[in-house]
A and B are shown apart, each in its own frame.
Chain A
Amino acid sequence: MKRPIEKLVTGFSWLCTIMLLGAVFSITGFLFAKGYSSLDTRLIFGDTGILDALLLKKQVFNGLFPAIAGTLVLVVMSVAWAIPVGIATGIYLAEYAGDRVRGLFNLFFDILAGIPSIVIGLFGFAFSVFLHKNVSKAIQPCLLISSIALAFLVLPYLIRTTQVALDGLPEDTRLGALALGATKMQNIFYVLLPKSLSGIMSGVILAIGRCAEDTAVIMLTGVVATAGIPGSLLSSYEALPFYIYYISSQYTTPEELLTGYGASIILLAMCVVLFSAAFFIKKRLTYMAFYRA
Chain B
Amino acid sequence: MKRTCTLFLLVVLCLVFSGLSLSFAEPLDAFKGEKGTVKISGGTAHIPVMKETARLIMTANPDIRITIAGGGSGVGIKQVGEGLVDIGNTGRKPTDDEIKRYNLKLFMWAVDGVALIVNPKNKVRSLSKAQAADIFSGKIDNWKALGGEDRKINLYTRDEASGTREVFWEKALGKGNIAKSANVVVSNGAMKSAISQDPYAIGYVSVGHIDKTVVPVAFDGVEPTIATVKSGKYAVSRGLYSNTKGDPAPLTKKFLDLLFTGEGQKIVTANGFIAVK
Contact = CB atoms under 8 A, between A and B. Distances in A.
Chain A directly contacts chain B within the complex, with at least one CB pair under 8 Å: yes
Contacts of A137: 83
A249 B67 contact: no
Given A132-B82, A250-B189, A252-B189, A236 B69 contact: yes
Given A249-B187, A249-B190, A226 B59 contact: no
Question: Interface of chain A, helix or strand or loop or mixed?
Answer: loop
Interface residues of B, number: 30
A61 B194 CA distance: 25
A249 B189 contact: yes
Contacts of B84: 132, 140-141
A57 interface: yes
Contacts of A235: 37, 65, 67
Contact of A59 (B41, B58, B83, B189): B58
Contacts of B211: 252
Nearest to B187: A250
A108 B65 CA distance: 41
Given A249-B190, A250-B190, A226 B54 contact: yes
Nearest to A251: B193
Task: Find the residue from B39, B58, B69 having the highest chain A CB count within 10 A.
Answer: B69
Nearest to A236: B67
Question: Interface of chain B, helix or strand or loop or mixed?
Answer: mixed
A59 B62 contact: yes
B83 A226 contact: no
B65 A231 contact: yes
Interface string A144-172: 00000000000000000000000000000
Interface residues of A, number: 21
B51 interface: yes
A171 B161 CA distance: 61
B235 interface: no
Contacts of A209: none
Contacts of A226: 51, 54, 66-68
Contacts of B192: 252
B231 to A, nearest CB: 27
Contacts of B37: 231, 235
Contacts of A227: 65, 67-68
Contacts of A140: 84
Contacts of B83: 132, 137
Interface string A238-269: 00000000000111100000000000000000
Interface of B: 37, 39, 41, 44, 47-48, 51, 54-55, 58-59, 62, 65-70, 82-84, 185-187, 189-190, 192-194, 211
10 contacts: A58-B62, A59-B58, A61-B58, A141-B84, A226-B54, A226-B67, A228-B58, A249-B185, A249-B193, A252-B189
- What 9 pairs between A and B have smallest CB-CB spacing? A250-B189, A249-B190, A224-B69, A227-B67, A226-B68, A236-B67, A140-B84, A59-B58, A61-B55
Given A59-B62, A252-B189, 5 more contacts: A58-B62, A61-B59, A132-B84, A226-B67, A251-B189
